[in-house]
Amino acid sequence: MSGLRALPSVDRLLGECGALIDAHGRASVTEALRTALAEIRRDPPQPLPDASAILRAVGNVLADQARSALRPVLNLTGTVLHTNLGRALLADEAISAAVAAMQAPAALEFDLDSGGRGERDSHLRGLLCELTGAEDATVVNNNASAVLIVLNTLARGREAVVSRGELIEIGGAFRMPAIMEQAGCHLREVGTTNRTHAKDYREAIGPETGLLMKVHTSNYRIEGFTKEVPAPELAGIAHEAGLPMVNDLGSGTLVDLRRWGLSPEPTVAEAVAEGADVVTFSGDKLLGGPQAGFIVGRREIIAKINKNPLKRALRMDKIRIAATEATLRLYRDPDRLAERLPTLRMLSRPEAEIRAQAERLAPLVAGLLGCQVRVIPCASQIGSGALPTETIPSAALALTPAPEALAERLRGLSTPIIGRIHDGALILDLRCLPGDAALLDALRG
């Protein structure tokens, strides 16, 4: 017991903590010192640590606490739009716009011409209409919100007719039937999992019907003996009955991706031209912007949506509006899109370039980690439910042995490196690596 009296007091230790106090503040340092001393008293190690050992331990604890768990990571999973890693990275133009909106007041709901009240959506409406051919547009927090508010506005207390082949679950509790319920409308399922016909929709329409809905089966494909009613025909059936047709595209895209060697995903302009009265899509999937939910379509319907009190609850903040506007502007110049938009840049990186990078890095990584590193061909995915069955040829580093231990070690770096384990190796797909130095710095860090 008497040994414990030799422990320095909190006050004495505080006197030697100038640098820690500068970095973390007096309150946090005091608290960490108290905790450390209490632990030593509860379970005294032999020999007792001296003052400098205690200060080192406390410094480590404080550094750990100061490190955000939401810190940048290297996404080497091979999934470009990784939902759990935050989906799209923003273009420099979008980042600057967001920073400007954070640093100074902005004319968010202020009309600079008249000096009167302006409209939050006005910053995006023109661009969205221009890029999609829609009459009008509005924007909410994310695409799940977009679907929710559309259903609630057009079909509350009524039926929304959807094919059984399109009752999707996106993951993270977005299930179409659950969203319908929260929106206050009754799901009217028609057809079967693999086949839905025009007459299935026609027979379901009655006095209770609020809308017909098409949902892009973003994260799966039904193949084989299948039949779905194409959007133009579904719009025709809806309009004959005086009902709106809603098309939830999920990812959607504003441009034809074939231009960059990717498989086509439906464009929003196509969905609008096919007769949908409302089209919904995400901001942070293929579009490559911040999280957002876009709703484009007929003017009267958008006006109704904007009057729904949910609009206020689901609205977007000025920072994301600024970043979204800057992102949409990039689409006015498709020639430079792949250069400026990180998502498209990564998706269109040629396999040969990635392989050359892998060959350069393999020996360096092996040296830094002391493990075996092979270069292997692999297949990247787009992710976030866009083109689920398509993969893009890529190249990876395959690290062995003991892939689980290696994965844990790389996750523990100050810039964590996230790969995936496959076939007894830790696979680092280099498609999304910003440059050689990013990987080497992270490994040395």
Ligand X SMILES: *Cc1c(COP(=O)(O)O)cnc(C)c1O
- Residues in contact with ligand X by CB under 6 A are 142-144, 147, 168, 170, 174, 215-216, 218, 248, 250-251, 282, 293, 385
- Asked whether 280 and 249 are in contact (CB, 8 A), the reply is yes
Q: How far is the CB of 45 from ligand X (least distance, A)?
A: 50
Nearer to ligand X, 221 or 374 (CB): 221
Q: How far is the CB of 140 from ligand X (least distance, A)?
A: 9
Please choose, from the candidates 276, 277, 157, 148, the residue with its C-alpha nearest in 3D space to the C-alpha of residue 207. 157
Q: What CA–CA distances, in Å, run from 184 to 63, 209, 300, 421?
A: 48, 13, 21, 43
Written as six digits, the tokens of 110 are 């202020």
Left, alpha or beta for 82 (phi > 0: left; psi -120 to 50: alpha)?
beta
Nearer to ligand X, 215 or 302 (CB): 215
Classified as helix, coil or strand, 35 is helix
Q: How far is the CB of 251 from ligand X (least distance, A)?
A: 6
d(CA 401, CA 425): 7
Q: How far is the CB of 101 from ligand X (least distance, A)?
A: 21
Length of the chain: 445
Nearer to ligand X, 210 or 250 (CB): 250
Written as six digits, the tokens of 327 are 């992102």
Q: How far is the CB of 96 from ligand X (least distance, A)?
A: 24
d(CA 436, CA 24): 33
Nearer to ligand X, 121 or 425 (CB): 121
Peptide bond into 105 cis (omega under 30): no
Nearer to ligand X, 170 or 255 (CB): 170
Nearer to ligand X, 142 or 196 (CB): 142
Q: How far is the CB of 87 from ligand X (least distance, A)?
A: 8
Q: Distance between alpha carbon 43 and the CA centroid of its chain, in Å?
A: 46
Give the residue nearest to ligand X (CB): 250
Q: Distance between alpha carbon 124 and the CA centroid of its chain, in Å?
A: 20
